[in-house]
Structure 1
């Protein structure tokens, strides 16, 4: 083997580490050591149980809800689309990385070449005769054929790291797709929990309305007896009928709300309404969250929030793409080779004398492009600078959301406590008003007013619980974290 012929290749390999372009440095942020509303009721700083952090909805203690989350994460069509996008990103990464290694193609075949005797260059050689004997000299045959087999090898030596930077950017883009799927899982899971709780809330309000209708119907009968005996008035009866009709009018609206949330759940589950109707055949009480929310430290948001992580990865990807644009302005070195065998007869094709090969090394460099290369570099730098600002905005937005929801979560729990106390008081007022009315010590208006207040406050209790539940969902979402369910069945 002639090692001198390999010298250019060796030099190229030694120079392959001359990468150009900026190295990526992860951003740093000046963060507060604690939240402004840290320590509100129902929260704690630590994250002692990571399982509860990731599968926090299990603290609603509702097996149906747990199973809905599992099924949604396995069946939701948007998540399946996201999985395909990850596969696309993986394929793109593989395609880019393939340029790092030589491209080898093989081929074989048969060729035939017929030369013209009238060819101005070779025609004379074909028809040349021996001047002494007059015989054909056979300098060039007019008909030539041969069998061949061989390979073609091409390789761009990545001297300045252009291909390597592009491959790094593709790898980061794949990471972004994975984080996006994680974020989409969070959005779909939170939507499932929200719609499930809203559906149970509509069912609870429906039950309250039915109970109120029953009580008001009994009150109406009592008023009728009172009017019949001469102690009541037609006005009392009219008011009782009006109150009963008004409460009955609420029931269709609650049925609409319950059905809307059922259909939304079916969509999230990737099912038709008929396929999912068995899941909600039985009305269940509105579940209550029984745990505490571990907020962690403000610095935890940088690694937990999908939007912040995507923004950081965008900076990293654009840094690599910017470096690739810089490297593209430097020379490109190509190595090519074509080893093979060539013979006129197929039987001779694989003899040692039939070996043939060709090799070359070349350099390509755009020494003038009208400023196009510099413009592309500047464009990539501007994209990177914009991504830095976007990252800063994502961090600020995340902290604002957490602070807002921490305060809202604490206030909503106080609201539940206060309206629950009001509900107890209104129930006592209704019972007292009925007793006084039976004894003839008050008119029917007192009963109607007490029942109206009771109906309003009981509805407020459900609304307060739903508000707290929504705050619970929103706060967990704002704090981030991986919500993927590992098991296929609910606990």
Structure 2
């Protein structure tokens, strides 16, 4: 039989040990849920083709590419520099986002703590000691007292000698080393679980960024929508005041009735009652922007002073494929990582039922004189190897495994529920997206018709065929249709924001 040289045997020993330790790892292997047959998804969204604009552009291939680059800073399609600046600032100034960043730091620190158990722990110490033993001690006392009188059977030449001195002093320098051999992968699985928690903290920050960015866009659009509606309302009130004055003149001339005047005044009062509601809406959305940005209302007023009209988003929403949601939506990513983390907890519970192996050592030097402290004769050490195995715990270990397996099954079902909810949300918003576009187009046609009616009314008035009240009534209807068109534009913009939010993706500006 051929024997390997000792040097080669020593070099192969670490490799053999590592293979042995790897082979002893216990616990279930993890497979991402969306790679398993239990997660089924449709090949396309139910209402992905409802958008008239998308149909007219015939850009299905672009949709199937996923939101990709279009999902990054998609709000630039509004073409509003104030909005772009506010989003960049909120992602740097928002307090909850700063708190989320600290959560990532905490998770990383915790992972480092857990991973540190994989390597030996070394403590170094040094010091000076001085102590005195009791001469009345039942164990050492006889050795500290003179032995001449207490032991007459001893040779007289020993005189009054003592076996031990009762006072001692000296210095020491040493270290203690402890290492648990992770034979069954318990610490590895704990480290993996801690790393997954870091990833969850990052996903949480990404999801919070999406929510806060969408909140900024929502409140900014609502503020501008209320502002523009107030401008239309002021013009409508001016028209109705002019109408009311004309009705008063007609009544005074005897050609009108008090009923006409009462109706005109009631309509004007009802229109004026809308103004406080729009002012409240403006203030609420402005306050919300101040909270999101962490700024005062004065600073928000300065920002908003640069915008006076509701922006319109350009382009289409490239919805991509339903399978893209699995890697783009933060809630789905969080649910998947929860499955992975609990899977590691199951492995830890299994490994806890196996023995634990320890290596400890304490080398050091000790001497009564500092001059002799570092001599070869002052060196000493203690080494030990041990095993700890909880062979009976009343079924606690098995129960912990079953507990974590139940948590794992619950997490897998939670993941499936998150996928189903995401699909439902996207389909619902795509339906609303298509209908909002149709509504916007219908309102645009109505506005065009009301503009034509106003133009004809003015022509008839100039020809003397109708009175000015008819012109003012046509103008009031035209203002009302413009207000409905603005509301439709605002609704379409909000639905678009909802679609992008439901599709997920990276919303960070940097």
TM-score between the two structures when normalised by the length of structure 2? 0.88
Check whether the contact 1:100–1:156 (CA below 8 A) recurs between aligned residues: yes
Q: Which deviates more, 15-24 or 66-75?
A: 15-24
**Which residue of the partner structure matches residue 430 of structure 2?**
406
Residues 1:213 and 2:237 aligned together? yes
1:228 Cα offset (Å): 4.7
CA 1:249–1:283 in structure 2 vs 1: closer, same or farther (change >3 Å)? farther
Please show how residues 27-426 of structure 1 align to structure 2 within 5 Å: 27=33, 28=35, 29-41=39-51, 42-43=53-54, 44=60, 45-47=63-65, 50-127=68-145, 128-129=147-148, 131-426=155-450
Task: State how far apart, in whole Å, the 2-side matches of 1:144 and 1:212 are.
Answer: 103
Distance 2:158 2:368 in 1: 28
Alpha-carbon distance, 1:249 to partner: 2.1
Equivalent residues of 2:82, 2:307 under 8 A apart: no
In structure 1, the residue matched to 2:3 is: none
Q: 1:22 aligns with which of 19, 28, 31?
A: 28
Alpha-carbon offset, residue 148 of structure 1: 0.6
How far is 1:239 from its partner?
A: 3.1
Q: Is the 8 A contact 1:12 1:157 kept in 2?
A: no
Whether the 8 Å contact between 2:135 and 2:144 is mirrored in structure 1 is yes
Deviations 1:45-84 (A, max 9, x none): 1448843321111001110111111011111111111111
* Contact 2:171-2:373 within 8 A present in 1 as well: yes
Deviations, residues 253-294 of structure 1 (Å, cap 9, x unaligned): 111111111111111112232332211135511110111111
Distance 2:315 2:18 in 1: 60
Q: Secondary structure at the match of 1:292?
A: coil
Return the offset for 1:233: 4.0
Instruction: Kindly indicate whether the alpha-carbon contact (under 8 Å) linking 2:70 and 2:318 is maintained by their aligned counterparts in 1.
Output: no
**8 A contact 1:348–1:354 mirrored in 2:** yes
**C-alpha distance in 2 between matches for 1:483 and 1:262:** 22
Contact kept, 8 Å, 2:144 with 2:166, in 1: the verdict is yes
1:235 to partner: Cα distance: 3.8
- Quote the offset at 1:342 in angstroms: 0.1
Equivalent pair of 2:67/2:320 in contact (CA under 8 Å) = no
Residue 302 of structure 1: how far off its partner (Å): 0.8
Shift of 1:346: 1.4
Cα shift readout 1:172-221 (whole Å, capped 9, x = no counterpart): 01101101110110000001001110111101110110111222233334
- Cα offset, 1:234, TM superposition: 4.2
**What's the secondary structure of 2:357's corresponding residue?**
strand
Contact residue 239 and residue 472 of structure 2 kept, 8 A: no
User: Who is 1:489 aligned against?
Assistant: none
Cα contact 1:433–1:450 (8 A) shared by 2: yes
Aligned equivalent of 2:151: none
- Equivalent-residue separation in structure 2 for 1:423 and 1:14 (angstroms): 77
Q: Tell me the TM-score normalized by structure 1.
A: 0.92
**Cα distance in 2 between the residues matched to 1:134 and 1:49:** 99
Q: Distance in 1 between matches of 2:193 and 2:79?
A: 44
Shift of residue 438, structure 1, vs aligned partner: 7.4
Once the two structures are superposed, residues 323-377 of structure 1 have per-residue CA deviations (whole angstroms, 9 ceiling, x without a partner) of 0110011011111111111000112111221111111111111000000111111
1:437 and 1:443 in contact (8 A); partners too: yes
Runs (4+) of structure 1 exceeding 6 A deviation are 9-12, 437-440
Report the Cα distance in structure 2 between the residues aligned to 1:283 and 1:183, rounded to whole angstroms. 28
Between the two proteins, the alignment pairs up a number of residues equal to: 480
Query: Using the alignment, how far apart are the partners of 1:259 and 1:434 within structure 2?
Result: 38
Root-mean-square deviation (CA), in Å? 2.4
Say which is worse superposed, 241-250 or 74-83, in terms of deviation.
Answer: 241-250
Residue pair 2:290, 2:297 contacting (<8 A) in 1 also: yes
Q: Distance in 1 between matches of 2:20 and 2:383?
A: 20
Mapped contact 1:111–1:147 kept (Cα < 8 A): yes
d(CA) in 1 for partners of 2:477, 2:105: 58
Q: Where in structure 1 are there 5+ consecutive unaligned residues?
A: 487-491
Secondary structure of 2:49's aligned partner: coil
Q: Give me the whole-angstrom Cα distance separating, in 1, the residues matched to 2:225 and 2:122.
A: 65
Whole-angstrom distance in 2 between the partners of 1:230 and 1:438: 24
Structure 1 residue 303 displacement after superposition = 0.8
